[in-house]
C-alpha cells in the first residue's frame, strides 16, 4: 500500500520555527490559565519524546503550543487616535460605563441618553472630557433619531465615525406570553429592534466610509426561551438575526459586526426592585378578568418573587461587558460574538446539546420556575368558557388602551 508523502526535515523545521517565533511574540498575561497551559505543554513534550521521531515531536509541540497560547494572548489592538464612537442608552448600565471608559482612552464619544438631566447623564457630564457629547434620544421617536443622525454626520465630518454601539434596550413585564399585553411586544420591538435598525441604517454610510465597527448588545434570551421573557427575548432574537445579516453583507466594505451576549449583571435597571414591583402592579391592574381568574394573582406574585431572586444573583462588576465592547471596537480581528459573564458556556452547551425536556427544566431551575396556575390547581372548578368567568366576576371595565 502506497503511503502519503511526508514533508522533509527542512519543511518540518520551517513550520516549527515559524510557530515558535509567533509564540515568542505573543503578548501573554501571567496567571493560572498560562501556568496550566505550560504544564500541559510540558506533559505533551514528555509524551512526544517517547512516541514520535524528534522532528515530528518538535512540530506537534510547536503547533499545539501555538494553538493553546494564541488563545491566551492579548489580541492585537488598533490605536485609538481620533476615532469617534456613538453609544446609545448611556443613562446607566453598560452604556454609561462604556462611555466613561472610551472617553478615558481618548475616543470622541457621542453618548445618547433618554434624559439629559438623569443621574447618569449628569455623571457623564461631570467626570468625562469635553470630547464626550451628550445627545438626548428616545428610540421610539423618529424625530429624535433623525436629529441624532444629523448631528453625528456634522460632528464627525472631519474625523469620520469609527463605531456604533447599539446598547439601548428595554424590558417591561416579566410574565407568561399570554399575560403580557400585545403593546408590550410592540414596545420592546420598537426599542430593541427597530431603534437599533434605524440607527444602524442611518449611520452605515459613515461606517462604510471608515470600514468601521458595529457592536450590538443583545441577550442570551434571544437565543433560548427564558421563561417569562417572551416580549424581550423575541425582540433580542430579531436583533441578533439582523446583526448576523449585517455581518455577512458588510464584509465587502470592511465593516466588522460584533454581538455581545452578556450574562445577568447588576445594572441600575436590575437593581431597581421598586420599578419591578410597580410594573407587576400595573400588569395586575390591566389584566383581563378571564386571565386573572385562570392564572390567579398568586401565580404572578410567584413569578415576580422568582425573578427578583434571580436578579439578586446578578454579577456586580460590569467590566467584562465593557471590555468586550472595547475589544469589538479596537481588536484587529474582533469576534463575531462575545459572551461576557460566568456560566454562559454551560447554559449554551445545555441549550445546544441536551434534549429539549432537559433544556426547559434547566432554564426553569436556573431562572424562573413557574407555579401551577389557579385553574389547574387541585380542587379548583374547571373553566368552561369566557362567558362563565364573565358571569362569575360581574361587569369589569375595559383595560387601558395602553395595555393592549
What is the 8-class DSSP label of residue 256? E
What count of other Cβ atoms lies within 10 Å of the Cβ of residue 37? 17
**Catalytic residue numbers, as ranges:** 232
Please provide the DSSP assignment of 183-206 as one string: HHHHHHIIIIIIIHHHHHHHHHHH
CA 72-73-74 angle, 5° bins: 120
Q: How far apart (Å, rounded) are the C-alpha atoms in residues 352 and 291?
A: 34
Residues 6+ apart with CB under 8 A from 161: 84, 85, 86, 152, 203, 206, 207, 210, 212
Q: Which residue has the cell 468586550?
A: 324
Query: Within the chain, what is the greatest distance between any pair of CA atoms?
Result: 91
Closest CA to 153 of 101, 197, 199, 191: 199
Residues 160 and 110: beta-carbon distance below 8 Å: no
Q: How far apart (Å, rounded) are the C-alpha atoms in residues 171 and 181?
A: 13
Backbone dihedral angles phi then psi of residue 106, each to the nearest 5 degrees? 110, 5
Nine cell digits for residue 294:
385562570
Amino acid at each position: 500500500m502506497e503511503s502519503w508523502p511526508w514533508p522533509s526535515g527542512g519543511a518540518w523545521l520551517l513550520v516549527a520555527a515559524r510557530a515558535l517565533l509567533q509564540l515568542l511574540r505573543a503578548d501573554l498575561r501571567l496567571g493560572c490559565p498560562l501556568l496550566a497551559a505550560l504544564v500541559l505543554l510540558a506533559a505533551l513534550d514528555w509524551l512526544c519524546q517517547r512516541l514520535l521521531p524528534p522532528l515530528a515531536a518538535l512540530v506537534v509541540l510547536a503547533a499545539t503550543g501555538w494553538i493553546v497560547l494564541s488563545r491566551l494572548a492579548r489580541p492585537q489592538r488598533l490605536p485609538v487616535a481620533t476615532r469617534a464612537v456613538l453609544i446609545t442608552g448611556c443613562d446607566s448600565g453598560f452604556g454609561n460605563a462604556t462611555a466613561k471608559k472610551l472617553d478615558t482612552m481618548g475616543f470622541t464619544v457621542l453618548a445618547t441618553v433618554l434624559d439629559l438631566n438623569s443621574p447618569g447623564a449628569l455623571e457623564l457630564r461631570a467626570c468625562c472630557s469635553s470630547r464626550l457629547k451628550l445627545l438626548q434620544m428616545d428610540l421610539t421617536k423618529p424625530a429624535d433619531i433623525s436629529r441624532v443622525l444629523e448631528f453625528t454626520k456634522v460632528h464627525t465630518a472631519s474625523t469620520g465615525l469609527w463605531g456604533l454601539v447599539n446598547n439601548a434596550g428595554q424590558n417591561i413585564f416579566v410574565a407568561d406570553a399570554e399575560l403580557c399585553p400585545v403593546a408590550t411586544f410592540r414596545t420592546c420591538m420598537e426599542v430593541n429592534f427597530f431603534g437599533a435598525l434605524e440607527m444602524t441604517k442611518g449611520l452605515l454610510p459613515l461606517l462604510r466610509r471608515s470600514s468601521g465597527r458595529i457592536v450590538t448588545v443583545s441577550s442570551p434570551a434571544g437565543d433560548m426561551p427564558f421563561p417569562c421573557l417572551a416580549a424581550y427575548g423575541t425582540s433580542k432574537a430579531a436583533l441578533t438575526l439582523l446583526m448576523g445579516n449585517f455581518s455577512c453583507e458588510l464584509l465587502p466594505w470592511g465593516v466588522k459586526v460584533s454581538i455581545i451576549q452578556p450574562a445577568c449583571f447588576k445594572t441600575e435597571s436590575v437593581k431597581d426592585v421598586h420599578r419591578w414591583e410597580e410594573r407587576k402592579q400595573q400588569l395586575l391592574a390591566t389584566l383581563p378578568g378571564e386571565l386573572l381568574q385562570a392564572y390567579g394573582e398568586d401565580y404572578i406574585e410567584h413569578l415576580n418573587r422568582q425573578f427578583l431572586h434571580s436578579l439578586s444573583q446578578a454579577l456586580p462588576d460590569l467590566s467584562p461587558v465593557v471590555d468586550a465592547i472595547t475589544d469589538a471596537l479596537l481588536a484587529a480581528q474582533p469576534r463575531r460574538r462575545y459572551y461576557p459573564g460566568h456560566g454562559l458556556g454551560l447554559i449554551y452547551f445545555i441549550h445546544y446539546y441536551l434534549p429539549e425536556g432537559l433544556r426547559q427544566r434547566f432554564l426553569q431551575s436556573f431562572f424562573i420556575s413557574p407555579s401551577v396556575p389557579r385553574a389547574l390547581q387541585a380542587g379548583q372548578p374547571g373553566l368552561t368558557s369566557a362567558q362563565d368567568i364573565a358571569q362569575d366576576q360581574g361587569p369589569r371595565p375595559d383595560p387601558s388602551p395602553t395595555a393592549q
